[in-house]
């Protein structure tokens, strides 16, 4: 018998925020693409980063998606 450890589950809001992220977007570009509440956006970004689904490149100030981790969370 094998056990499978499920990754983090994405809420509808978090999925919307993640889906709006295109490669190399800054926080402002990403925020504009999502729209809605700034607090909701910031909370979703924090959750996505904490779980390794997205990463911030401090040198460029841009975000990227971690496709492997995203595939595990789906």
The mean per-residue pLDDT over the stretch 46-53 comes to 96
7 part of a folded domain: no
4 part of a folded domain: no
Q: What pLDDT, on the 0 to 100 scale, is given for residue 68?
A: 92
CATH number at residue 30: 1.10.10.10
In this model, does residue 15 exceed pLDDT 90?
yes
Domains in the chain, number: 1
Share of the chain above pLDDT 90, in %: 80
Q: What pLDDT, on the 0 to 100 scale, is given for residue 2?
A: 44
Share of the chain above pLDDT 70, in %: 88
In terms of residue numbers, what domain contains 62? Answer: 12-73
> Measured between alpha carbons, how far is 66 from 49 in angstroms, rounded to an integer?
10
Alpha helices in the chain (DSSP H): 12-20, 27-34, 38-50, 67-73
């Amino acid at each position: 018998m094998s056990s499978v450890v499920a990754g983090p589950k994405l809420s509808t809001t978090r999925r919307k925020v993640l889906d709006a992220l295109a490669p190399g977007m800054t926080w402002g570009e990403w925020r504009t693409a999502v729209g809605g509440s700034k607090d909701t956006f910031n909370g979703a970004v924090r959750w996505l980063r904490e779980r390794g689904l997205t990463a911030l490149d401090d040198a460029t100030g841009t975000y990227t998606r971690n496709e492997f981790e995203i595939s595990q969370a789906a």
